Structure 1
Amino acid sequence: MLKHLAAVALLGSALVFSGCETLPTPGATVETANLVQLQNRTWIVTQIGNTAVRTEPTAHNIPSLQFDSATQRVSGADGCNRIMGSYSAGRDTLTLSQMAGTRMACLNSNGIDQKFNEALAKVTHYQVFGKTLKLLDRYGNLLIQLESAVQPR
């Protein structure tokens, strides 16, 4: 009888403790996965609106963005100037704020810097698929497409 009582008590306490464990919701898992893919890597601009952007690997200030998870800061270049600011990101939302940049005179930028900054001002959402990041407006229209930079080994 004592063994039976001890077994029931042990089983009951195991159920109580396992019932207190919280499982992540599917939405939280997706949000975490999206943030992990977005942050702490360099993204190179390949398209602004419907215009393809091609840059030489040796060019200075290649249009790019980096999202730092530790500081919630965004930095990069617009094709001419360095840019920086802060961001907050959710499952698929992205808010860029306090954006600032250097003001160098640039020749032969073909207006990429201006188009890039105008598009950044409209960003409200993002999508990450593998090595592709799409920055979207509130209607889901593509503003900027970026590819994850390949790091040399």
Structure 2
Amino acid sequence: MFKYTVCFVKRKDRILMLNREKAPIMGVWNGVGGKVERNESPDQGALREVFEETGIRVEAFYSKGTVTWETNNGELDGIYVYLYEIDEHFTYDTPLKTREGILEWKSIDWILNPQNLGIAGMVAQYLPVLLTEKGIHSFTYKDGHITVS
């Protein structure tokens, strides 16, 4: 089991992103998330993290997966990734300063724009799959690229 989750909350053509104020990836836009706690599943941890960091209660995921990579010492590491869709009429005003950083709705086009250097490294590679293919996915990161299996 991996230690961390990253979760994307989608409303219409926008995703709620967090510009992190703390390491890791300080100053970079990413989904919300964090550590899976002892005695909880990754799914439970993801739901809890979304609520703790945003106050939004999400239900079932639209798509989810794992992103795995090999560490410098040859061990397998990874993160659980989730996409939740909320009702298009749900109101959540941003920007919003939180203890984790700044939350803001960002357009999917902005997030995936190849000129955008402010998005967490792998997001632009796996997020399109999460957005277009409902279900459970397995991503592998190697040599700067993600493959889907």
Length-normalised TM-score, structure 2: 0.29
Q: Give the structure with the higher percent strand.
A: 2
Query: Larger % of helix: which?
Result: 1
Question: Computing the radius of gyration over CA atoms, which structure comes out larger, 1 or 2?
Answer: 1
